[in-house]
Amino acid sequence: MQKVAAGCLGIILIGVIFFVLIAVGSYNGLVSLSQGVDSQWAQVQNVYQRRADLVPNLVQTVAGAANFEKSTLTDITNARASVGQVKINPNEAPTDPNQLQQFEKAQGQLSSALSRLLVVSERYPDLKANSNFRDLQAQLEGTENRISVERGKFNEAVQAYNVKVKRFPTVVFAGMMGFSPKPYFTATAGAETPPKVNFDFSGKK
């Protein structure tokens, strides 16, 4: 009888150890993937901040053009201010889809405003002679491309994390350990497309 009890106890002990090992492995995997998402989120924030830092110089340079549309510059300034009003942790990816949606909306409005500014700028050939404007144009083009790339990498990191969260046996432990799926960047109309920054200074008005 004692042998049977000892055998049962041993089986239970092995089961507990096996359960603990699976739980530890799941936790470590989730931590690693979650940190990967946060790291990529920080990269997204960096490129968006780089664009925001370009805006004041761009506006100041374009404002020097004679009779340039003031409403366009106002839209740019307001859109940049709206981005700053969205409070979001730059080092930790959001877990609330609504929070990320608000962030995307504000950034999309800035993208749209910048696109309009650049299109309007085509009607001012005198800007072509402004080396500062040309430099800012190139920097903005590069930044918009980086934003697109980093958003894509962020979604890839989120996908890897979300798959881990929902896959068995991790799904059994994820909720208990405080891990839940994270939202993606969505393909909002216009937000994922870099503004067109190629100019045709042919003298057309």
CATH 2.10.109.10 fits 2-174, yes or no: no
**Cβ(24)–Cβ(173) below 8 Å:** no
- Per-residue pLDDT 10s for the chain (205 aa) are 666 676 677 778 887 786 777 778 888 999 999 999 999 999 999 999 999 999 999 988 888 776 777 888 899 999 999 999 998 998 899 999 999 999 999 999 999 999 888 888 888 888 777 888 889 988 999 999 999 999 999 999 999 999 999 998 899 888 888 899 999 998 654 444 444 444 333 434 3
- The residue assigned the tokens 């990529």 is 40
Cα angle vertex 60, ends 56, 61, to 5°? 120
Query: What is the model's pTM?
Result: 0.80
